[in-house]
Amino acid sequence: MPPIDIPESDQTIEVFAIDNGTTLDVPAGTFIKPVYKGSERFHYPAFVYLLKHSSGNVLFDLGIRKDWTNLPPHKVEGAQKNGWNITTGENIADILAEHGVAIKAVVWSHPHLDHVGDMSTFSKDTTLVTGRSFKTDFMPGYPHNPSSGFWDSDVNGRPVHSIDFEDGLKIGNFDAHDYFGDGSLYLLDTPGHMKSHMCGLARVLSEPSRFVFMGGDIAHHAGQLRPSKYRPLSTIRPQLRVVDLESANGAIQQIAEDESRTPFYRPSPGVHHDVEALETSLDAVRRFDADDRVMILLAHDESLRQRLDFFPNSLSKCFDKATHDEIRWGFLEDFQKKA
């Protein structure tokens, strides 16, 4: 298929992936289906992205706060009741302070507990950037809004910029907003997982252009994106077929060979706001995945821990073909027979 139509620009932004050591040990069926034998639980990271621009530094997501049990009580109780085991790392603000990095704005891909972090660790002049209708759908915070997943203090007294996506710009099938106005960073309206969910598209290289697609929770496992009709298994290993793959403790041979172009996972009902809309968004993201210029990074893709250059290194060196293929297909280790 033809590449995604992304506006031309020679302006770039430096992108850094931050892994603070967080691990979310969660039941896989909370987010995806089917649940394969041996893969009943996922051990998710919660990656954060630092975007360095000449007009100021921006964070895309904040992960989960270090003192996560100080989230609104109903969110803590819900996570514990649903079998979540959470190990947190340092607050992102502390990691950045150690390196002398100041932050002008924080983008929440969506206001779930493992993305909102701890806004109290940033000054009140740090802008919070949110998705479509965030103010009407999610503000105020807890306790004024008893169902909120964030505190009043996260939003009160600071600028909150809710992107309305009324610019008329579309990239792929998504409404888009040119955040800096120079083509270096686009925010994409990506409905389905939660109201106001956004992804980010950052131009990290020019001539030729290369992009990092920050997926937030558009998917909780790369197996929701791949394989696909745009990225069949044969594109990475012609001899590999789905029938050759096994989950950690049991075969998945029930998946027919002719489905080597079908993603291994689909979103499960329950936690997602609108599964049908999410399926539509996922198919649109698969089109980005087919574009060799675009590297898709999901917030909770455990396979990236062994494959990305993390902060303080930037991601600009990850675009050689061998590295990009390893990043794209590294998740297959989840299905390979364990020795």
What does the DSSP assignment read for 172-183? TTEEEEESSSSS
Residue 100 falls inside a structural domain:
yes
Place of tokens 């996260």: 154
Distances, alpha carbon 122 to alpha carbons 30, 69, 93, 155, 252, in Å: 31, 19, 7, 11, 46
Q: Could you tell me which residue, 3 or 23, shows the higher pLDDT?
A: 23
> What's the pLDDT tens digit per position in 184-195?
999 999 999 999
CATH number of the domain enclosing 159:
3.60.15.10
Residues 313-331, mean pLDDT to the nearest whole number = 90
pLDDT at 131: 98
- Rounded CA-CA distance 234/236 in Å is 5
Residue 195 falls inside a structural domain:
yes
Element holding 277 (H helix, E strand)? helix 275-289
Residues 246-277: b if buried by 16+ CB within 10 A, e if exposed: bbeeebbeebeeeebbbbbbebbeebbeebee
Tokens of 190: 């990506």
pLDDT at 247: 52
pLDDT at 332: 87
Whether the per-residue pLDDT at 177 is higher than 80: the answer is yes
> What's the pLDDT tens digit per position in 196-221?
999 999 999 998 999 999 999 999 99
pLDDT at 253: 44
Residue 1 falls inside a structural domain:
no
Whether the per-residue pLDDT at 272 is higher than 50: the answer is yes
DSSP state of 110: S
pTM: 0.94
- Rounded CA-CA distance 241/128 in Å is 45
Q: How many CB atoms lie within 10 A of CB 41?
A: 15
How many domains in the chain?
Answer: 1
DSSP state of 310: B
- Rounded CA-CA distance 94/112 in Å is 21
> What's the pLDDT tens digit per position in 224-238?
999 999 998 776 654
> What's the pLDDT tens digit per position in 91-127?
999 999 999 999 999 999 999 999 999 999 999 999 9
> What's the pLDDT tens digit per position in 141-166?
999 999 999 999 999 999 999 999 99
Share of the chain above pLDDT 70, in %: 91
Q: How confident is residue 36, by pLDDT bands cut at 50, 70 and 90?
A: confident
Q: How confident is residue 337, by pLDDT bands cut at 50, 70 and 90?
A: low
Residue 53 falls inside a structural domain:
yes
For residue 94, give its domain range: 14-334
Going by their DSSP bridges, the two strands 127-130 and 105-107 should be labelled as parallel
Element holding 93 (H helix, E strand)? helix 92-98
Q: Is 95 strand, coil or helix?
A: helix
Residue 328 falls inside a structural domain:
yes
Which among 295, 172, 206, 212 has a CA at the least distance from the CA of 8? 206
Q: Could you tell me which residue, 250 or 280, shows the higher pLDDT?
A: 280
pLDDT at 339: 37
Residue 7 falls inside a structural domain:
no
pLDDT at 274: 97
Whether the per-residue pLDDT at 250 is higher than 50: the answer is no
Whether the per-residue pLDDT at 251 is higher than 90: the answer is no
Whether the per-residue pLDDT at 338 is higher than 60: the answer is no
Residue 126 falls inside a structural domain:
yes
Whether the per-residue pLDDT at 283 is higher than 60: the answer is yes
pLDDT at 237: 59
Whether the per-residue pLDDT at 336 is higher than 90: the answer is no
Residue 122 falls inside a structural domain:
yes
Average pLDDT, the chain: 92
Share of the chain above pLDDT 90, in %: 82
Q: How confident is residue 256, by pLDDT bands cut at 50, 70 and 90?
A: very low
